[in-house]
A and B are shown apart, each in its own frame.
Chain A
Amino acid sequence: AQSVTQLDSQVPVFEEAPVELRCNYSSSVSVYLFWYVQYPNQGLQLLLKYLSGSTLVKGINGFEAEFNKSQTSFHLRKPSVHISDTAEYFCAVTEGGSQGNLIFGKGTKLSVKP
């Protein structure tokens, strides 16, 4: 069975600092990986996804993530955060070729301080 672990439940960071949100997954089959963001009182919005090919994936709002198969990780990074990046970030996985139900991590609350 697949599972996703987001090691950090909360990450406080100052504006313009770099940030990395960690995500590890476990699966015995090929997977697709996703990062979603949830702003307060809003639904989940896709930031980026990894399907195949280049292991470095660029998404919206300046975020990127790197797929590392040997470490079963898909960490999310941004070189310089803004106050507006304050939100909860969810890593998710789905099994390739399946109907596509997403397995989510518990989420990481990113808090950007001025």
Chain B
Amino acid sequence: EPEVTQTPSHQVTQMGQEVILRCVPISNHLYFYWYRQILGQKVEFLVSFYNNEISEKSEIFDDQFSVERPDGSNFTLKIRSTKLEDSAMYFCASSNQASGSGDTQYFGPGTRLTVL
């Protein structure tokens, strides 16, 4: 069964450093998402991406964040200058159609980011 994969599973970085989290969505999916979950808190939406551009983003997704689909398979989240409060589990998800049509989002296993 096709699945969303994410690398690395765990990333440790120093405050102020740039990190890139990588995701490979399901191959025929067209909509891509990033979410994060700070320990003990809700899973929060960050950004959605369709047709090579951001379709929606939350207040969390400020200028420090960017997303890219550099080729036909990868979907990346870059944090330009990490802060302590960026420590969280980051989930990538993909769907064939927009979930606002009822389509299911398929989630990856997550990348745990620890900022020291």
Contact = CB atoms under 8 A, between A and B. Distances in A.
Interface of A: 32, 34, 36, 41-46, 49, 51, 90, 92, 94-107
Interface stretch (B44-52, B65-73, B80-88): B44-52
B56 A101 contact: yes
Contact of B109 (A43, A49, A100, A107): A43
B91 A94 contact: no
B58 A101 contact: yes
Interface residues of B, number: 30
A100 B42 contact: no
Interface of B: 4, 31, 33, 35, 41-45, 48, 50, 55-56, 58, 91, 93, 95, 98-110
Contact of B100 (A41, A44, A99): A99
B91 A100 contact: no
A101 B33 contact: yes
Contacts of B104: 34, 46, 49
A34 to B, nearest CB: 8
Given A104-B42, A104-B43, A106-B42, A99 B109 contact: no
A103 B99 CA distance: 12
Contact of B56 (A36, A99, A103): A99
